[in-house]
Amino acid sequence: MPVPGRSGSSRALSGGAAAMPGRGRRGRGRAAGPQQSPAPAPAPAPAPAPAPGCALGPARFCPQCGRGVEAAFRFCPACGERQPPAPGEAAAAAPAPWQARSPAAGPGSGSSSPSGASRPPPPRSPSLSPAAKRGSFSPRKPRAVAAVPFPEAEVLEDHGKRRWRLGRLLEHGGPGLMYEAQSASGACPQKQRFSLKLDAKDGKIYNEQNFFQRAAKKDTVDKWKKLHSLPLLGIPNCVGFGLHADKYRFLVFSDLGRTLHSILNDGVRLNEKAAFQIVVRLLDCLEYLHENEYVHGDITAENIYVNPEDLTQVTLAGYCFAFRYCPGGKHVAQREGSRTPHEGTIEFISLDSHRGAGPSRRSDLESLGYCLLKWLCGFLPWSHDLKNVEAVVEKKEKYKADVTCLLRQCFMGQRAIPDALQRYLQQVMALEYEEKPNYEFLRQLFKKPLEKMKASAYDSVAITIVP
């Protein structure tokens, strides 16, 4: 299939270079001519009229569809999405963050971690688009004020007037904070647990809320499960959302459990059975997302949840980088540089994301392949290069063109390379930007070896973890 816009040349805008703010482009000086005798200065020639519609060029790009949007626009004329505020506006409107105490502080200091044997929240991977890397690539989007931890027992009220009491802080360090929460309005049993995600009002959580309202309503998910005869589908059930103190936005989910990242940090090693079960469940999730016009954009163990109290429950969460790749059924063009490069977790994001193109279906599947490879081998060839994003990109390009070499480098002859993994990577790495994957073929690659193990992808995941 021919792929439109493969060249990165779409970033150049006719006649618009001088008018694009924040580009940092340096003008070339001209050599001065010989001095002339004084003469009346001629009237300056009027500047040529800009070509209609393109002279100034778009000052930024829509984070949803990737189309150019004028700086003064508040909504994208192509897809209708609300645009983030301009840098000056964000700086003026950003409130001073509430100065919270450390979640590791003692009970008397307003700690957000309970006393006793509670587990401190694991920090997220340092590879998640650090400011030092991301900030130097694109000045288009302002950086929202980071959320700071709240003390336990803080009560938040959502748009439906339901109240939620914060419990212990589960995750921090990435886009947003994840808490345990309980209903404080009497609408739910007191022992029922929920997961509450909180971030700055205009942070990435706004994109996540938009995704859930548009593409992941409970009725839509239930209808999909029934249509495809799925016993389980790991799309989070968002039961509420709202604003707190006019500075923070929050989302409330049915209890998600623990991140796979935190489980692996406890020293748990995934065997082939557990890894293949999780991959099949994630392929179900990705097919649902892709058929509903979205890609996830940040597949990583930090966004995969397993519930210790019900090991059949595997959930794909973390939709801060979700991208509407097919608005209205029309696939976006492949335009490198149309978005902020390297968005997501550096270790696992696709080459499309590295290059600043909107992620597509193949991007999610590429990221899932990197995750599976690391779960089984413990490392990737670029795992030690995460502070040098150019080195990561170079190695991903090299190994995407030579899957056999990638597998040999990771397994190093220590054990047999799983045939399912090799065939999966070969299929995924060969996909074109707009090509629709054969999800059932990919699932069967892992279901068949599971059948030989007398297991199902929808059984309890074959790992032992504690709540």
Determine the pLDDT at residue 75.
Answer: 65
Strand 176-183 to 194-200 pairing: antiparallel
Q: What is the pLDDT of residue 124?
A: 54
Q: What is the pLDDT of residue 413?
A: 77
Would you state the pLDDT for residue 270?
93
379-437, pLDDT tens digit by residue? 999 999 999 999 999 999 999 999 999 999 999 877 899 999 999 999 999 999 999 99
Q: Which residues partner with 195 through β-bridges?
A: 180, 253
User: Is the domain 137-254 a CATH 1.10.10.10 member?
Assistant: no
> Is residue 325 within 8 Å of 344, Cβ to Cβ?
no
Residue 226 backbone dihedrals phi, psi, to 5 degrees: -65, -40
Q: pLDDT value at position 26? A: 38
Q: Which residues contact 238 (CB under 8 A, 6 or more apart)?
A: 212, 216, 251, 252, 253
Domain borders along the chain are 137-254, 258-452
Backbone angles phi, psi at 248, to 5 degrees: -125, 145
Q: What are the start-end ranges of the H helices in 201-270?
A: 205-215, 218-227, 260-265
pTM as predicted: 0.71
Q: How far apart are CA 156 and CA 165, in angstroms?
A: 7
pLDDT score recorded for residue 213? 95
Q: Which long-range contacts (CB under 8 A, 24 or more apart) does 1-9 make?
A: 1/432, 1/434, 1/435, 3/334, 3/432, 3/433, 3/434, 4/333, 4/334, 4/434, 5/333, 5/334, 5/335, 6/334, 6/433, 8/335, 8/336, 8/337, 8/355
Q: In sequence order, what are the residues at sequence separation of 6 or more whose Cβ sits closer than 8 angstroms to the Cβ of residue 351?
A: 366, 393, 396, 397, 400
pLDDT of residue 98: 38
Lookup: tokens for 18: 């001088």
Q: How far apart, in whole angstroms, are the C-alpha atoms of residue 178 and residue 354?
A: 27
CB-based contacts of 324, cutoff 8 Å, min separation 6: 64, 65, 79, 81, 214, 293, 294
* Residue 136, both tokens: 């130097």
Pick the CATH number of 258-452 from 1.10.510.10, 1.10.10.10, 3.20.20.150, 3.40.30.10: 1.10.510.10
How does DSSP classify residue 401?
T
- The answer to whether 313 touches 232, Cβ cutoff 8 Å, is yes
Considering only the C-alpha atoms of the chain, give the largest distance between any 2 of them, rounded to a whole number of Å. Answer: 96
Residue 45 CA to residue 449 CA, distance in Å, equals 75
Specify the pLDDT at position 48.
Answer: 44
SS3 state of residue 149: coil
Q: Tell me, what's the pLDDT at 154? A: 92
Burial of 467 per CB tally in 10 Å (0-12, 13-18, 19+): exposed
DSSP state of 341: T
Concatenating the DSSP letter of every residue in 97-147 gives PP-PPPTTS-GGGT-SS-SSSPPPPPBPPTTB--HHHHTTT--SSPPPPPP
CA distance 428 to 365: 6
Predicted local distance difference test score (pLDDT) of residue 131? 38
CB 425 within 8 A of CB 411: no
Sign of CA dihedral 46, 48, 49, 54: negative
Per-residue pLDDT, 292: 97
Q: Are 99 and 90 in contact (CB under 8 A)?
A: no
Q: What is the mean pLDDT of each run of 10 residues along the chain (467 residues)?
A: 43 39 39 45 47 43 65 65 58 40 36 41 50 38 63 90 93 85 78 92 94 96 97 97 94 96 91 98 99 98 95 97 96 95 96 97 98 96 96 98 96 90 98 98 98 97 84
C-alpha 187/C-alpha 296 separation (Å) is 32
In terms of DSSP bridges, do strands 258-259 and 304-307 run parallel, antiparallel, or are they unpaired? antiparallel
Q: Do residues 81 and 75 touch, judged by C-beta distance below 8 A?
A: yes
Query: What pLDDT does 192 receive?
Result: 87
Cα separations (Å) of 319 from 28, 167, 169, 449? Answer: 43, 22, 19, 30
Report the pLDDT value the prediction gives residue 452, as an integer from 0 to 100. 97
User: Which tens digit of pLDDT belongs to each residue from 428-465?
Assistant: 999 999 999 999 999 999 999 999 999 999 999 999 88
Instruction: Return the pLDDT at 175.
Output: 76
DSSP H or E run through 452: helix 439-452
281 conformational bin, left if phi > 0, alpha if psi -120 to 50, beta if neither: alpha
Residues assigned a catalytic role: 298
In this prediction, residue 121 carries a pLDDT of: 58
Could you tell me the end-to-end alpha-carbon distance of the chain, in angstroms, rounded to an integer?
48
